[in-house]
Structure 1
Amino acid sequence: MLPVSNDTLLRVVRRRARPRAEPLCVIGIDDWAFRRNHRYGTIICDLERRRIVKLLPDREIATVAAWLAAHPGIHVVSRDRGGGYGEAAARALPDAIQVADRWHLMENASSSFLEAVSKSMKPIHAALGATVVDPKLLTCAERLQYEGYLRREETNAIVAELAANGVSIKEIVRRTGRSRKLVRLIVRGQRTDMFRARQGSLDPHLPFLDAQWEAGCRNGAELWRRLRALGFAGSTRVVSEWATRRRRSERMTAAQLHRPPWLGRSPV
């Protein structure tokens, strides 16, 4: 990628956005950042010819409406689902059809889906029977991760209890020492943690390890040497920890062996 300054990039965009003879009929309109979180403008594109038409200096309703009013031939306006551009289009082009663009539809649908899933993770875990973790089956790294998960769950429970008792968010922040943003997320039910085991370098080799184990090879160093011959780049410690967890799991009874709450991977 060639290095290019912001001013050069804007000059190129404006040069390509020079006035054209063809009338505008279908446009897309959205905001863009001169400087993120500080200054925003409006970009207008000709969707039929896939060209940038205009860069407006801001995203004020009056500015956008004035530009749209100067182009009465526009029949369709594709925009985000915010109210500002919709109001400007309705004011300047009352007969134009307004549609939501596909990117914002997918983004909004994805956000709504993820929010609904995050609020339902606890019932999902309970339905799967995956609410109990046996720390003896975890690696050192996973045990540290699990301890952090328990601390976060404890914080969630404390904040939720205070909120249920009618304590204000400001007072909860003062009592717990947590940030206002975090407390607000917990109160709204938007912070639901789940313990997720990390993807390990051994995962692609688990079928081979299982087969070797069943064939009678139970030594971690020997298993590592056989894996290394197949291209495994990990250390012997990783394989030895796997062998240790496997031996522990075989010694445990069915009542003691609980499924850890992560999805898409079985404990070994």
Structure 2
Amino acid sequence: MTRRHGQRTERLRSTLASVGLALAGRAGARLAAVLGTSVSRSTILRLVDELPEPDVTPPRVVGVDEYATRKGRHYGTVLVDVETRRPVDLLPDREASSLAAWLSRRPNVEVVCRDRAPFFADGATVGAPQAVQVADLWHNLSEAAERSVAQHCGCLRALIPTGPEPDPEPAQAENTAGSPWPRGHRFADRTRARHAAVHALLAAGHSQRLVERQLGMTYRTVKQLGDAATPEDLFTGQWQNRPSILDDYKPHIDDRWNEGCTNAWKLWEEIVPLGCKGSYQRVRVYLRQKRTSPRPVTARPPSPRAVAGWILRRPESLTESEQLQLKTARTHCPELDALTRHVRSFAIMLTERQGERLPDWLDAIRRDDLPSLHTLAAGIDCDRDAVIAGLTLPWSSCFVEGHVNRIKMLKRQMFGRAGFRLLRKRVLLA
């Protein structure tokens, strides 16, 4: 009915605890105020912390994956009962020793579904030597396929439709002839507007001093704008010819741009090993200038990610245009044709549970010139038994990915300020 020194009924306590599980502290306190209960965020968090641990049946098939508490710096481990698809525990790190200790306390675990991370493999081997390990490979194959397509992105130019290039519009032609900045550039448009305002006042007979006071400009700015016959004369100053830290690397960036790579972050990662000391923002600004520079509008080849998506998807799910473009790419590039055959052969192994064909598939990969798949094959050799089990048994860790995404949502909901205990309670009890 109640408890010693209780300040609220048991039903209200359970209601506030449920609100805390759903919304955490601040948002939970705001919702409680709407419901007519004045309570602080600290009280709601305390009620959540006092909830008992869930009564979980020892799992027989466990899915293991990592989640980031601070991406790139600190990670934890989530364990899911694959049969019931519910989380059973959270670990504060992703060390092999922590997973091994957790599994050793549960000797009834028969199957461990994991990715191919070495710390999970070592932890499962030490903590549950009696369990069968199942490793998922489709995600690794997807990444390797995209890298392979990127290595042959020059072959994708065959997918550009041929035809006459359209003539530039009159405004664009004017910009090409007289201005390095096109219409729509915010600095250029601001300069043009200020130039027009100054010349309008000067033409009306106002002095430069009066224009300076009316427009809130300095005398030097008014004189500079007034002396320029056109705003384009202001865009040809010596500042445009200053040396840039990217000058030595612009040929590489231009070549990759012509190949169809327009991702500034990717290009920056490519030139850093070459010795570039410039920041990502410099590459981003340079690519923005290339995008906004006046030039004829021409078709671009599809991105490597788009082509990799065509290869990875079921053939019957592709549109007629995508099927035609993929067929053209396979005709012009033997490596992309071999990649498509290997990916679709692996998909048949995965869907039809033909894990015994994996050694033959690896031998076929090594006979082709596909370095990314060779790297993948070398990694599979170190974990072959788990991969074959993943291609044979009906278990996988796909359900764990959904819980990892839910953990991301809970962390963002608490603005990254929640500790491990509160996060664990919200994951296990919600």
Which one scores higher on RCO, CA 8 angstroms, separation ≥ 6? 2
Give the structure with the higher percent helix. Answer: 2
TM-score (norm 2): 0.31
